[in-house]
Copies of this chain bind each other. A is one copy, B any other.
Amino acid sequence: MRLTERDALDRFRAARVARLATVSAEGQPHVVPVTFALSPGEGDPVAVFAIDHKPKTTTDLRRLRNIVATERVSLLADEYSEEWDRLWWVRLDGAARVLTEPDERAAPVSWLVTKYPQYQDNPPQGPVVWIAVGAVAGWAYAG
């Protein structure tokens, strides 16, 4: 059954990892796991993730090169269980930009540090990706 947008966003927000799909300028899909945070509060949701270390150039990593080239991303959170009647997933589609300026990075980095204790002593140093979420889709098995 389809999830309501509220339920879908609540599940997504609580997930500890998501998978990010991007596309190259040549149409090649790419998918990587990312730790992420959703913007706090009401209003149009924003998803963010960060690169831990400063890459030599913004386009050093394929996920960033793809985002600079094509902008469109799809982000998935899901839970697998051997009991297939417990499966669910939530997908956010959006437009992404790479933020490298300190004043742009500050808020999203704080959301990530708040969510992940692992970041507390080692906040991410690299670019932040800001995803303006345009569509929310979610599904859970209906028994």
Residues of A near any B CB (own CB < 8 A): 16-17, 19-23, 27-33, 70, 72-76, 78, 80, 82, 84, 87, 89, 91, 93, 118
Instruction: Report the Cα distance A76→B33, complex, angstroms.
Output: 8
CB–CB B31/A21 < 8 A: yes
User: CA separation between A22 and B74, bound complex, in Å?
Assistant: 10
Contacts of A29 in B (CB 8 A): 21-23, 29, 72-74, 93
CB closest residue in chain B, given A91: B31
A118: which of B30, B72, B73, B82 is its contact (CB, 8 Å)? B82
- When all copies of this chain in the complex are counted, the total is 2
Q: Is the CB of A28 within 8 A of B72?
A: yes
The reply to whether A33 and B89 contact each other, CB–CB distance below 8 Å, is: yes
Distance of A5 Cα from B28 Cα, bound (Å): 21
A-B contact pairs, 5 of them (CB 8 A): A21-B29, A28-B93, A32-B76, A33-B76, A33-B89
Residue ID in chain B nearest A80 by CB atoms: B17
**Cβ–Cβ < 8 Å partners of A32 in chain B:** 76, 89, 91
Using CB atoms, name the residue of chain B closest to A28: B72
* B23 pairs with A27, CB closer than 8 A: yes
What residues of chain B lie closer than 8 Å to A21, measured between beta carbons? 19, 21, 29-31, 74
Q: Which residues of B sit under 8 angstroms from A84, Cβ to Cβ? A: 118
